Amino acid sequence: MAPAAVADAPIVAAASSLNPALNEVRQIFETETGQSIRLSFGSSGNIARQIIRGAPFELFLSADERYVRTLVERSLTMDRGALYAVGRLVLFVPNGSPIRADSELQEFARAVVDGSLNRLAIANPEHAPYGRAARQLLEARGMWDRLGQKLVMGENISQTAQFAATGSVDAAILSYSMALSPAMSRRGRFVVLPEKWHDPIRHRMVLLDGAGQTAVAFYAFLRAPTAREVLKRHGFSTPQDTP
């Protein structure tokens, strides 16, 4: 791809939980269409604020549909967007950690009470949807107030995963998609956590005002079977389009 073509490619802003799934989708899209896009990852809340301030994104893939609705209300989008995935939380335990991974968090709760858990990483609940869901889960299990200064907060789910990958924390609450990535699967073990303990993590995407033809084409591609299969392999459920 010529440098000028890459420079002119639209920028798609996406939640960190979509990396590496979205990179795989991008590669397929570019191979099949000959069109190029650029990806920019971050926490959904921070991206939404950047868009409000005028960031030159053409498509936004949020991990929380509320941020999309905020942009719709501000008339910054071409439509109301589409639900493209639902995420899950996992408890990830790095190699060498004394914490046991159990889906009902009974062993984890004991580790919190007896002090054997020293540091737990989650994404920042203030602007990262997976962090907000992690807080809801910990509150539902009566552990949020107990953790206090033992909580280590990543700027987004990718940074949270980095804390776990380096072994600088005893455990982390991550997205299922992040835990499935090759970089993480070699560095620990995980269990998928029950959805009943937090609000659904509904991912919604939306074309932003002024989006060009390539962004529109990628938006449509993300709703097609090929992209949906990639998302499923990376730990997302892919519901049918809903308003």
Confidence label for 240 from pLDDT (cuts 50, 70 and 90): low
Q: What is the mean pLDDT of residues 126-131?
A: 92
CB of 154 closer than 8 Å to CB of 164: no
In degrees rounded to 5, what are phi and psi of residue 126? Answer: -70, -30
User: Average pLDDT of the chain?
Assistant: 93
Do 76 and 122 fall into the same domain? no
Interacting residues of 204 by C-beta distance below 8 A, sequence separation 6+: 62, 64, 65, 68, 69, 81, 82, 83, 84
For residue 53, give the CATH number of its domain.
3.40.190.10
Do 27 and 59 fall into the same domain? yes
What is the domain range of residue 129? 89-192
- For residue 153, being part of any structural domain is answered with yes
- For residue 242, being part of any structural domain is answered with no
- For residue 243, being part of any structural domain is answered with no
For 186-197, the pLDDT digits (tens) are 999 999 999 999
For 102-127, the pLDDT digits (tens) are 999 999 999 999 999 999 999 999 98
How far is the C-alpha of 10 from the C-alpha of 53, rounded, in Å? Answer: 18
Q: What is the mean pLDDT of residues 203-230?
A: 96
Do 161 and 216 fall into the same domain? no
What residues form DSSP beta bridges with 56? Answer: none
Look at the alpha carbons of 228, 13, 17, 241 in this order and tell me if their dihedral is positive or negative: negative
- For residue 15, being part of any structural domain is answered with yes
For 92-106, the pLDDT digits (tens) are 999 999 999 899 999
CA nearest 206: which of 63, 100, 95? 63
- For residue 240, being part of any structural domain is answered with no
- For residue 156, being part of any structural domain is answered with yes
Do 139 and 167 fall into the same domain? yes
- For residue 46, being part of any structural domain is answered with yes
Do 183 and 218 fall into the same domain? no
pTM of model > 0.85: yes
Do 66 and 116 fall into the same domain? no
Do 206 and 136 fall into the same domain? no
Q: Give the chain's radius of gyration (CA, Å).
A: 18
Burial of 223: CB neighbours in 10 Å, binned 0-12, 13-18, 19+: middle
Number of domains in the chain: 2
**Placement of tokens 């009974």 in the chain:** 106
